Amino acid sequence: MSNPVAAPSLRAAFARLRPAGVVALVVVLAILVAAVWPGLIAPGDPLAIAPTDALAPPSLAHLFGTDESGRDIFTRVVHGTAPSVGIGLAATGIGIGAGLVLGFASGLGPKALDAALGRVIEVLFALPTLVMALLLVAVMGPGTGAAVLAIGAATAPGYARILRARVRAVAGSGYVEYARLEGTRRTRVFLRHIAPNTLWPLVGVATLGIGQAIVWVSALSFLGFGTLPPSPEWGAMLNAGRVYISTAWWMTIFPGLAIVVTATALTVLGRTAAGGGRR
Amino acid sequence: MTGRPALEIRGLTVALPGTGDVLRDVDLTVAAGECLAVVGESGAGKSVLARTLLGLTQDDRHARVIARTFEVAGRDVRTLPRRDWRALRGVDVSLVLQDALQSLDPLRTTEAEVGETLAIRRVPAHERRTRVLEALHAAGLPDAAARLRQRSDDLSGGMRQRVLIASALVGGAPLLVADEPTTALDSTVAARILDLLGRLRDEGRSLVLITHDLDVVARVADRVAVLDQGRIVETGPVAEVLGSARHVVTRALIAAAPHGPKATAPAGPGPELITARDLVRRYRAPGGGSVAAVDGVGVSVHAGETVGIVGESGSGKSTLARLLVGAERPDEGTVSTSAPPPRIRLIPQDPFATFDPRWTVGRILRTSTRTADTPEALLAQVGLAADLVRRRPATLSGGQRQRVAIARALAADPDLLICDEPVSALDVTTQAGILDLLVRLQADRGLAVVFISHDLAVVRKVSDRVIVMRDGRIVEEGATERVFAAPEHPFTRELIRAGGGG
Amino acid sequence: MRIARWALARIGSALLVVWVVTTIVFFALRASGDPLEAILGGPGSQAGEEAVAVARETYGLDQPLLWQYLLLLGRVGTLQLGDSYARRQPVIDLIAAQLPSTLLLATLALALAWALALCGAIIARTSRGPAGRAVTASLRGAEIVATVMPQFWLGAVLILVFASTLGVLPATSSGADPAGLVLPVVTLAIPIAGFLAQIMRDSLAEADAAPFAVTARARGASDTRLLLHHTLRHASLPALALSGWAYGSLLSGAVVVETLFARPGLGRLLIDGAMQRDVPLVIGAVVVVALVYVVVLVIGDALELLVDPRLRRRTRTIVRQADVAVGA
């Protein structure tokens, strides 16, 4: 009966942020600003066409260059923060929601249910994410909504797996057993012990997951199944830039860089919050 | 080999990064064929000393190791380069660690592990095997040839310790450093290992025996040095130091070691609180089939008395505790209680696991309180400062956590306390404090206590009655002093002889 | 007999996979509106009367729901995957033609990832001093970036540098031509290399601090000996355990990489199928991927048994590390 990893308060979590975590936090905050108020950083219309300026390399006028219709890529990247991050958030929300239901049902329910659900979760988790997502998209048709749903459904088993393991560890822990021995009722034990110790650590995992979801969704868009142009969503921009890779590299590199930076920052932040960082 | 000391140290100071001075101005001498015990509590610096004697501390670039004299097997090692230290290890001085499942590489065979010292020195394979078998034989491992291909998790604790000793002997080292070699073992097994170490000493090897247990010292050592916070505070022949200790730390250690009978006289047993009859509890054995952890055990506890349950690992005592407290249901047999049913609380072996890691001490106590006592008042009853209410258990020491666990149990105004190895993981002096607390609380409140431990001396100190368990059955029971004075069952006699009476 | 039980468990896994995938497809088909439409290639497909009738027959679309489900289950279970609508060829044949190419990519990528991870972990462990600390820190950073980097971007960058600018490697390729394999394999391997490196580094650190490492040093073992004879074996265990999952992830990545480098393979097939709403093809591809994964798990289990003899007698006790990274 060993204790699962301790889940301290939010204050303690902040106190543990190391330099890498601080940098990541700053980056994430900047991204949030870009998502909420893109006009602050990049005034201008992301959809404005200027055919005469098409495929111009990066310059002072166009920091990230222009695309095949003359649209300024820097503006598009900044304005694309909201849809890109938003989609990642939505997909993660679906994934965690489904994962919570499955995880709690499996971890707290009768043994038979746990055995059955457990195996199904393991199998689903094992199937490659993109393959699963493509399966769903193939059947449901392309589009942003389908992409979000597909990634959400494809990542749900991963969350279910983590939650199930955590719920079982907490439910089988020494302090839960002691509380039950003292005569505490089940619902009370759940509310006071199981729920807080399971959900708080999820914050770190979720943060990390949002970064991953952004990457997955943009992968789908890149393949042509997600958001369609001319939306400034980063994956869609990558899809558009594919054809011009050798002539206008800036169309691909900069949106991709945005994805990498966002995903890395969220991952570092999530890791620091989840486990104090590894040596 | 004759006359020259196996180990000579004067003025050894070791400083580690981040911790500062761990050993200060230590003097030690070990003659050939002598066993020197180094005693101290946790944090005294014993493990660092063991590693420094092998040159392992010196491997760390950031560690500072200086000494006026430091001679191992006659060789000055003060500024020895790493490569030369490697040549010394295993051949001039060797190390025996505590038996943990991981003290031997679990992925390698016994033969590979024991023979590693020789393999490093490119001893040819057939000669290696011969010497490995010799070493295993010298370490008293039965059926050594069959064990060669086995790995550490195929062996019992006692066998693993013998393999560890064999791997230290195979290079022919005249000086052995043993770091808590018997701590993790059952007392009967530990006694045999100590006998082995004594024999090795008699054959002419020198031994540095590092331990926290004075009984171990008394059994095997010739001389003893007491280590406290990095300094040697007293040295001398064992009989002298243990018999008439001069330094206050030594005296505290000796006083804290449990020995002798219970201090307070037993109050006449009150009404029966809980009675268990013919309890049987089975588990599925790893190889198939079932094993009865508890096999037909009956016990009854009366108000105001302490019943001690003693046994080795696997005897079923912890399972019995769980059956009594209600954490598990027996497969057969009954547990009946008085009416109204007594309030039973558990004092666990590892209290930390029973605390919600997110809760403060105050919240833990408040949640368990059935009386009007405030958390501060409860802490005072167990001898803790009131400002601990805001702390989290992770920031407390082992002794403090156990006291909080006791306070939490008291908060419920219990009639019966079930203590499952409550002091096994604690230092001797901390242990003594907890035991005194339990005895006092019982006297003040008329509690009934069931006290479970593998340590006979500890059980003797707190119990009015004692029950001896083995393999799930009771082999002997009766008034504590009667059992100690005149044990009837051979197993009880073996336990007492293994060192647990004081 | 342990082996019999293990074999049974693996076969059970395979069956479970097929069942789960089929059930998902069934419900997704229902949820997307008219299943007939989906089977015949999506809205706007110009399916003839005959095709419609055939589809109705094979999928039992006039029958009660439960019957349709069982029918689908039976067909998938016996690998009667039907014909691809868009290409009018048996799905099995199409997949069989493309599978080897993808497997080649994925296997090479796994090998490369292992090699990179081992080097990274060993270098990180053996670096000393201030220069060493800088090396370790940058390796750690590289690991994180490697695991989150989107493969399509990484591939694009590599194409840009090595194909467009330097011109030393081709941007597109097919078959087993070595020069053409380099970029796709590297692109595929890097995220998994980062993942494996992290795991290995953690377990190396853990093994280094274990009591048996102290015992080995006390026998005179040098750092090299400790690494080669003791800790490396321990460190490879969790990485081996997770390699099966990693292979699955590689199959996922192959979809992107094959598209990016215009390589034929299962990934391309899947994409094209999804694009054209060619449901039989997609189902077939997904089922095959799942089955390949199960086979890989079997191989992984066998290797693990070889390296860790403890598993031969007792149930698996290796704790799966990096759950956070893996779960997301």
β-strand partners of B272: B302
The answer to whether B347 faces chain A, any CB pair under 8 Å, is: no
CB pairs under 8 A between A and C: 181
Mean pLDDT of chain C: 80
What pLDDT does residue C307 have? 79
What pLDDT does residue B501 have? 44
The number of folded domains in chain B is 2
Residue B477 lies in a domain: yes
Which amino acid is residue B82, in one-letter code?
A: R
Strands B416-420 and B448-453: parallel
Q: Among residues C241, C243, C272, which one has the least CA distance to residue C258?
A: C272
Number of helices (H) and strands (E) in chain B: give both, helices first. Answer: 19, 20
Chain mean position to CA A212: 5
What pLDDT does residue C316 have? 43
CA atoms of C57 and C63, how far apart (whole Å):
9
DSSP string covering B395-429: GS-HHHHHHHHHHHHHHT--SEEEEESTTTTS-HH
Which amino acid is residue C85, in one-letter code?
A: Y
Residues A130, C32: C-beta atoms closer than 8 Å = no
SS3 state of residue B314: coil
Which parts of B431-470 are beta strand (E)?
448-453, 465-470
Name which of A1, A7, A175 is nearest B355 (Cβ-Cβ): A175
B450 and B407 within one domain = yes
The answer to whether C99 faces chain A, any CB pair under 8 Å, is: no
Name which of A7, A177, A182 is nearest B358 (Cβ-Cβ): A7
What pLDDT does residue C8 have? 82
CA atoms of B382 and B404, how far apart (whole Å):
8
Q: Among residues A215, A206, A225, which one has the least CA distance to residue A255?
A: A215
Phi-psi region of C308 (alpha: psi -120 to 50; beta: other; left: phi over 0): beta
Residues C218, B89: C-beta atoms closer than 8 Å = yes
Residue C319 in this model has a pLDDT that exceeds 50: no
Q: Among residues C199, C184, C19, which one has the least CA distance to residue C118?
A: C199
What pLDDT does residue C326 have? 35
What pLDDT does residue C327 have? 33
CA angle A143, A144, A147 (to 5 degrees): 85
Alpha carbon separation from C302 to A31, C113, C268, C310 (Å, rounded): 46, 20, 31, 13
Q: Among residues B161, B172, B88, which one has the least CA distance to residue B134?
A: B172
Alpha carbon separation from B234 to A211, B10, B176 (Å, rounded): 61, 14, 22
Q: Give the domain CATH number at A267.
A: 1.10.3720.10
Residues A182, B354: C-beta atoms closer than 8 Å = no
Residue C204 in this model has a pLDDT that exceeds 80: yes
B279 and B247 within one domain = no
Residues C255, A223: C-beta atoms closer than 8 Å = yes
B238 and B359 within one domain = no
Cβ(B13)–Cβ(B35) below 8 Å = no
Helix pair angle (C232-260, A129-140), 10° resolution: 30
What pLDDT does residue B100 have? 76
B365 and B223 within one domain = no
B294 and B252 within one domain = no
Residue A43 lies in a domain: no
Residue A249 lies in a domain: yes
What pLDDT does residue B217 have? 92
CB atoms closer than 10 angstroms to residue C131: 9
Domains of chain C in start order, with CATH, are: 34-80 (no CATH), 91-327 (1.10.3720.10)
Residue B353 lies in a domain: yes
B226 and B337 within one domain = no
Residue A167 lies in a domain: yes
Q: Among residues C321, C9, C328, C244, which one has the least CA distance to residue A157?
A: C328
B317 and B408 within one domain = yes
Q: Using 50 as the pLDDT threshold, list the residues of chain B that sit under it.
A: 1, 501-502
Residue B288 lies in a domain: yes
Residue A44 lies in a domain: no
What pLDDT does residue B241 have? 93
Cβ(B50)–Cβ(B103) below 8 Å = no
DSSP string covering C214-270: HHHHHTT--HHHIIIIIIHHHHHHHHHHHHHHHHHHHHHHHHHHHHHTT--SHHHHH
User: pLDDT tens-digit profile of B469-500?
Assistant: 999 999 999 999 999 999 999 999 999 888 65
The number of folded domains in chain A is 1
Residue A261 sits in which domain range?
49-277
Neighbour-count burial for C240-271, b at 16+ CB within 10 Å, e otherwise:
bbbbbbbbbbbbbbbbbbbbbbebebbbbbbb
CA atoms of B357 and B447, how far apart (whole Å):
29
The answer to whether C328 faces chain A, any CB pair under 8 Å, is: yes
CA angle A108, A113, A115 (to 5 degrees): 100
User: pLDDT tens-digit profile of B159-198?
Assistant: 999 999 999 999 999 999 999 999 888 888 999 999 999 9
Q: Give the domain CATH number at B14.
A: 3.40.50.300
Residue B292 lies in a domain: yes
B280 and B230 within one domain = no
Residue B306 lies in a domain: yes
* CA distance from start to end of chain C: 36
The answer to whether C156 faces chain A, any CB pair under 8 Å, is: yes
In chain C, % of residues over pLDDT 90: 17
The answer to whether B60 faces chain C, any CB pair under 8 Å, is: no
Cβ(B54)–Cβ(B95) below 8 Å = yes
**Residue numbers in B near A182 (CB within 8 A):** 345, 368, 412
What pLDDT does residue B406 have? 94
Cβ(B311)–Cβ(B470) below 8 Å = yes
Name which of A159, A224, A260 is nearest C149 (Cβ-Cβ): A260
Cβ(C324)–Cβ(A271) below 8 Å = yes
pLDDT interval class at C45 (50, 70, 90)? low
* Closest Cα in chain B, distance from residue A212 (Å): 29
In chain C, % of residues over pLDDT 70: 83
B342 and B233 within one domain = no
Per-residue pLDDT of chain A (279 residues; tens, 9 = 90+): 333 344 455 555 555 567 778 888 899 999 998 888 888 888 888 888 888 878 888 888 888 888 888 888 888 899 989 988 998 999 999 999 999 999 999 888 888 888 888 888 877 887 788 888 888 887 777 778 888 988 998 899 889 988 998 998 999 899 999 999 988 899 999 999 999 999 988 888 898 889 889 988 888 888 888 777 778 888 888 888 888 877 888 888 889 899 989 998 998 888 887 664 333
DSSP one-letter code for B311: -
Residue B26 sits in which domain range?
1-92+207-257
Residue A144 lies in a domain: yes
The answer to whether B151 faces chain C, any CB pair under 8 Å, is: yes
Residues B56, C221: C-beta atoms closer than 8 Å = no
Residues B105, C217: C-beta atoms closer than 8 Å = no
The token duo for B260 is: 């002798």
What pLDDT does residue C11 have? 80
Chains linked to C by 3 or more Cβ pairs within 8 Å: A, B
Chain mean position to CA B11: 30
CB atoms closer than 10 angstroms to residue A111: 7
**Residue numbers in C near A123 (CB within 8 A):** 13, 16-17, 20
CA angle B256, B466, B255 (to 5 degrees): 10
SS3 state of residue C160: helix
Chains linked to B by 3 or more Cβ pairs within 8 Å: A, C
Residue A160 lies in a domain: yes
Q: Among residues B51, B36, B43, which one has the least CA distance to residue B98?
A: B51
**Residue numbers in A near B326 (CB within 8 A):** 181
B240 and B341 within one domain = no
Task: Go through chain C and tell me how many residues it has.
Answer: 328
Largest CA distance in chain C: 82
Chain C residue with CA closest to B113: the answer is: C216
B305 and B247 within one domain = no
DSSP string covering B337-377: E-SSPPPEEEE-S-GGGGS-TT--HHHHHHHH--SS--HHH
3-class secondary structure per residue, chain A? CCCCCCCCCHHHHHHCCCHHHHHHHHHHHHHHHHHHCHHHHCCCCCCCCCHHHCCCCCCCCCCCCECCCCCEHHHHHHHCHHHHHHHHHHHHHHHHHHHHHHHHHHHHCCHHHHHHHHHHHHHHHHCCHHHHHHHHHHHHCCCHHHHHHHHHHHHHHHHHHHHHHHHHHHHCCHHHHHHHHCCCCHHHHHHHHHHHHHHCCHHHHHHHHHHHHHHHHHHHHHHCCCCCCCCCCHHHHHHHHCCCCCCCCHHHHHHHHHHHHHHHHHHHHHHHHHHCCCC
CA atoms of B246 and B234, how far apart (whole Å):
8
Residue B331 lies in a domain: yes
Please name the helix (run of DSSP H) or strand (run of DSSP E) that holds residue B379, with its range, or none.
Answer: helix B375-381
Cβ(A150)–Cβ(A128) below 8 Å = no
CA atoms of B460 and B66, how far apart (whole Å):
45
Strands B175-179 and B206-211: parallel
B379 and B233 within one domain = no
Cβ(A164)–Cβ(A121) below 8 Å = yes
Residue A176 lies in a domain: yes
Residue A24 lies in a domain: no
User: pLDDT tens-digit profile of B222-276?
Assistant: 999 999 999 999 999 999 999 998 999 999 999 888 888 887 776 667 888 999 9
What pLDDT does residue A2 have? 36
Task: Go through chain B and tell me how many residues it has.
Answer: 502
Residues 6+ apart with CB under 8 A from B40: B46, B212, B226, B227, B228
Residues A209, C328: C-beta atoms closer than 8 Å = yes
CA atoms of B123 and B132, how far apart (whole Å):
11
β-strand partners of B418: B346, B450
CA atoms of B307 and B320, how far apart (whole Å):
13
Phi-psi region of B260 (alpha: psi -120 to 50; beta: other; left: phi over 0): left
Residue B82 lies in a domain: yes
